[in-house]
A and B are shown apart, each in its own frame.
Chain A
Amino acid sequence: MSETPSNQMSDLKFKTKKDTVATILGWVTLVLFMAGTYFAIVSPPDKNQGDLVRIMYVHVPTAWVAYLAFAGTAFFSLMYLIQKNRRFDRLAAACSEIGLILMSLTLLGGMLWAKPTFGAYWTWEPKETTTAILLLIYVGYFIVRGMIDDPHRRARVAGVVGVAASLSVPLNYMSTGWWKSLHQGYTVNILGKTSLSADPRMLEALFINLIAFTVLFVYLLRLRGKLAARLERQEDRELEREFQMSQQTSQDTVKGSA
């Protein structure tokens, strides 16, 4: 392959084919968020907490999507380790990024909710402690990714870390059940006996926001996945060019010495 002007241009100009799926997902997300906000506002205040209960309509969905994203990391990491297709590595990293952001928001929202209800922003109770550990683990995942240059080796190591890290998700979810905690139990109980313990109008607002955040996750994953594919192509081209240059330099050296 020779360095022709057209070849160079293709580096600068990415294929900008319109992603219809992403556009649709974006609009659906927007509409669902508008509906979610509306129902969160018209739902009644809580008997004890008053309007503070509305934090739940953001706090629970962000936590759910973070769990979903980390489950995605584990799934795509495992798929990479089995099939060695770098597409899965890109999706695993994208899932981790989304999960890390949403879990940080969950922590922030939780602290803002804890201050007026529990009486303190942070008390090292089990839910808080396991969340801190979870965040630390996924920060570690990105440090690992950043430290390795070889794309295939990076994907392999990150794949193993991505699968192992997912253990922190059930640890975090079960923390209120396994240990005595300050954090309340499950309003929407899905393990064991299924139960819903809130006003139906509150549950309505909660579930619409859960759906909205879930669609947002799919949308973000799509965008981040595409972006990661572009970055990967660029990285590959750079590696190839570096190789060519080293070839050329060695040829020049041979010519020069002759």
Chain B
Amino acid sequence: MSSPAKLNPLSTPIKRHARRSKVGYWIALFAFLGVAGTLIYNNLGTNLNYYITPTEYKTQEGDYTDKTLRMGAQVKMGTVKYNKETFDLRFVATDGNMEYPVHYNGGIPDLFKEGLGVIVEGKMVNGTLEGSNLLVKHSEEYKAPSKGIDLSPKSLTGG
């Protein structure tokens, strides 16, 4: 018999076997399949459109009855009404062609302001989009502020 003492302690068969154990990879594989499966299952059937425009909503109005939808539009200039006490926000969402009034209650993102693109998640109730979630789509253009412009979030909300 060959004596184990002759072998390098770094690479005895037991050590080597332990290092090559695949238990971790099997767990990773199952976790991977689980995550991938969930991803596919949850997104099956939903179309790739992240949001619809007011015009698209108008043409497919029937499809969205009592359904949560995401509407992407611009905040129409001069239509923002924000009650600081009740956090009630009302504005008109437009894509230049069609427009819908939006009602939203909750914290508004710092960047929200008139003329900017927004995405409102919510349900259409009697012609008004009752928003449950308000997201701001900002521009890819970045500019330094000209002097004298108030940068505080309050001034940007128009409130």
Contact = CB atoms under 8 A, between A and B. Distances in A.
A233 interface: no
Contacts of A124: 43, 50
B80 to A, nearest CB: 16
Contact of B111 (A49, A129, A182, A252): A49
B35 A45 contact: no
A116 B156 CA distance: 14
A120 B11 contact: no
Contact of A47 (B43, B49, B50, B145): B145
Contact of A48 (B1, B43, B133, B156): B156
B135 A119 contact: yes
B149 interface: yes
Interface stretch (B21-29, B83-91, B122-130): B21-29
Contacts of A140: 32
Interface stretch (A72-80, A84-92, A208-216, A237-245): A237-245
A26 interface: no
B119 interface: yes
B139 interface: yes
A133 B141 CA distance: 28
A46 B140 contact: no
B135 A118 contact: yes
Contact of A117 (B1, B119, B138, B149): B138
Interface size on A, as a range, is 35 or more
A254 interface: no
A233 B17 CA distance: 17
Given A45-B144, A182-B119, A12 B50 contact: no
A181 B50 CA distance: 6
B67 interface: no
A136 B16 CA distance: 29
A117 B39 contact: no
B25 A143 contact: yes
A199 B143 contact: yes
B140 A185 contact: yes
Contacts of A46: 142-145
A32 to B, nearest CB: 22
A143 B29 contact: yes
A202 B2 contact: no
Contacts of B10: 11-12
Contacts of A44: 144-145
20 contacts: A8-B8, A44-B145, A47-B149, A47-B151, A49-B111, A49-B138, A49-B142, A116-B110, A118-B109, A119-B112, A120-B135, A136-B35, A143-B32, A149-B20, A180-B72, A184-B137, A187-B140, A198-B142, A199-B143, A202-B142
Interface of A: 3, 8, 11-12, 44-50, 53, 56, 116-120, 123-126, 129, 132-133, 136, 139-140, 143, 146-147, 149, 179-182, 184-187, 197-199, 201-202, 237-238, 241-242, 245, 248-249, 252, 256
Please provide the 8 A-B residue pairs with the shortest distance between their CB atoms, ordered closest to farther: A44-B144, A119-B109, A184-B140, A198-B142, A146-B25, A197-B141, A47-B145, A185-B140
